[in-house]
Amino acid sequence: MIALSLAEIAEILDGELHLVGADTADTLVDGSVDTDSREMTAGSVFVAKPGETTDGHRFVGAAVDAGAVLAIVEHPVDVEVTQIVVADAVAALADLAREVVARVRAAGHLKVVGITGSNGKTTTKNFLARILEDEGETVAPVRSYNNEVGAPLTMLRLTESTRYLVSEFGAAGPGSIAHLAGLVTPDVSVVLMVGLAHAGGFGGIEATARAKSELVTAARADGAAVLNSDDPRVWAMREIAERRGMSVVGFGQSPDAAVRAEDVEVTATGTSCTIVVAGERAPLRLKVLGAHHVTNALAAIAAAGVLGVPAASAIARLETVEIAERWRMQPLGSDRVRIINDAYNASPDSMAAALRTLAQISGPQERTVAVLGAMSELGETAGEEHDRVGLLAVRLNIARIVVVGPEARRLYLAAVGEGSWDSEAVHLPDQDAAFDYLKTELREGDRVLVKSSNSVGLRHLGDRLGEFFS
């Protein structure tokens, strides 16, 4: 965090400052900010956030022992550390992030990119950060820090010399993206796609589209909207951007795309295509598996172009990326049995993309195995969407469909109903049962996809399989 005095922080948060020891109102704080006491280092700020299962106020002492010099709390805690008492710790976190971003922006060189979409946010964020880090100091979220806590924590990592902030915005419900993007007012707004991920919390796909469009509305009027021209709901957001006086850059494989991909080819070692920008063509060879990641690469190239990075430079940097992120199309195992651990999250769109990738990268002598768990937060569409995934797996000729957990049973029944029988599809109660089954069922030459929503936790099963077959 940039250096601020205790008095300044208290004023920003409209909080009550309780000084301890040698601290004065003028004492400067410039350490990291976090809600996890285990992440504290010397000079850190601990935000005591109440939670559903525990209360951050219980860990103020542990945070101080680990190096925290300031605690932001909702009530005084009997710990020897300076504290600022606020009405709402999460709201205070947002207020502090807003002020830090504003001060760094006032220095005149900070550019902010906001990224949203039903799928692909984290991969696109990582791609863009890789491109921009060679241009100047770049701050981007770790993992998927894209909610009301994670997004401000990322913003608070800015320093006086930060040139680019890449923010990832998830949508907890209507208005959440508007709130988070309002903390930074992005110079560039990137919208990837509108899908059924989390549709149950929004009331349908049209409501999801409206939520994603909040990023365009929250951007600077003199900024740019980078939009997926292949997704009609995203491409329609150009009307919002144009009404606000923003420039619009389309990406995709449609003729409307200013940054376009042609001749996409997926293999077991990566994904290749031809990138077309302003009539110029250049090859891109991603080490990341899956045709769907071409869309994420296009978005990153387009956003970087708005910021002045030539396409050739962006392409060269993308080709150095080894994996999108841990648990996202992550290759594990060995030549004997290859595991693709893509179980950080799942939606109908990402399930379909991952299954198609599995089919595309497997040779005629290689058996395909899909280990699938439930997709969460789909609301009333959950049953139908699990049916669709089961049908697709069969139609793609996936040789073995291993369904894990009671919540995914309908996926299994759909696969059986479509014609997957004679042990081609099995349903197992939990991860341990699945591991015991797979460690004897898998054989040399198998190509295995592990995919589920984060809450199901199959990413850990993927790690176990990767280690067993390494």
Q: Please enumerate, by residue number, every residue annotated as part of a binding site for ATP.
A: 117-123
428 with 417: CB under 8 angstroms?
Answer: no
- How far the first Cα of the chain sits from its last, in Å, is 41
Residue 299 phi, psi (nearest 5): -60, -45
**DSSP, res 179:** H
Residue 374 phi, psi (nearest 5): -70, 155
Name every residue whose Cβ is closer than 8 Å to that of residue 459 and which is 6 or more positions away in sequence. Answer: 327, 341, 343, 344, 450, 452
Say how many C-beta atoms besides its own lie within 10 A of residue 299's C-beta.
30
Using DSSP, state whether 2 is helix, strand or coil: coil
Would you list which residues are annotated within the binding site?
A: 117-123
192 with 296: CB under 8 angstroms?
Answer: yes
Alpha-carbon span 324 to 35, nearest angstrom = 26
Say how many C-beta atoms besides its own lie within 10 A of residue 51's C-beta.
9
Count Cβ neighbours within 10 Å for each residue of 24-40 and write b for 16 or more, e otherwise.
eeebebebbbbbbbeeb
62 with 48: CB under 8 angstroms?
Answer: no
Say how many C-beta atoms besides its own lie within 10 A of residue 65's C-beta.
12
Say how many C-beta atoms besides its own lie within 10 A of residue 112's C-beta.
26
CA distances from 238 to 80, 225, 260, 297 (A): 53, 7, 17, 20
Alpha-carbon span 190 to 298, nearest angstrom = 11
